[in-house]
Homo-oligomer: A and B are copies of this chain.
Amino acid sequence: MDQLLRVQNFGVSSDGIGAGEDQSLESPFGHVEPEKLFGWAGATASWLMRTGPGGSRGLDDYFIRDYARNIGAEIMGRNKFGPQRGPWHDHEWQGWWGDEPPFHTPVFVLTHHKRPSFTLSDTTFHFVDGDPATVLQQAREAAQGKDVRLGGGVTTIRQFLDADLVDTMHVAVSPMKYGTGIRLWESPDELLDRFHLEVVPSTSGVQHHLFWRK
């Protein structure tokens, strides 16, 4: 079985915007409100951050519960890890996720600036500088035969798409427009030369876009 590189549960607006350009500690997604972009996910029974009982077990839940299945490592961009830019001035910042990050695998954070690896619970963060193919090779080795999740953000997904390294991609398109921000695509049709696409509407209002390599 091949080791796939998978994008999962990535949220964009109907005009293709997945994050604002004005990220800060208080606003990880800038002017894009994550509660709108990911509201469909938070309503599911299997949502990783769910603290109470309940939640739907319909279509949306299938996407959420596939999150960890057969994943052995994640690759993420620096801006998914934190709002800092440039050299790491201190190592106090350990990501947005507290003492129990939801990854439970090695995570490779793309950055041009050196920083030692560290471990929180069963997630180890490595800081790596390299082209997408090299970083993917590192992540595949760490994944020990399992798939690798490409965790975002938008810029990171674009880099790996441009390098033609993405095998499957699930993007949940929400029914609002932002006009400005960091854009995954002008239209999903841009990818049809290389990918199959199924679009599945959900009762939650999002349109699940499922891509897999031709």
Contact = CB atoms under 8 A, between A and B. Distances in A.
A168 B57 contact: yes
A197 to B, nearest CB: 8
- Kindly report how many copies of this chain are found in the complex they form together: 2
Contacts of A198: 58-59, 203
A198 B168 CA distance: 25
Interface stretch (A61-69, A80-88, A100-108): A61-69
A188 to B, nearest CB: 14
Interface string A147-186: 0000000000000000000001000000000000000000
27 contacts: A45-B212, A56-B196, A56-B212, A57-B168, A57-B196, A57-B210, A57-B212, A58-B196, A58-B198, A58-B200, A58-B210, A58-B212, A59-B198, A59-B200, A59-B208, A59-B210, A62-B62, A62-B63, A62-B66, A62-B210, A65-B66, A65-B69, A66-B66, A66-B69, A69-B69, A198-B203, A200-B200
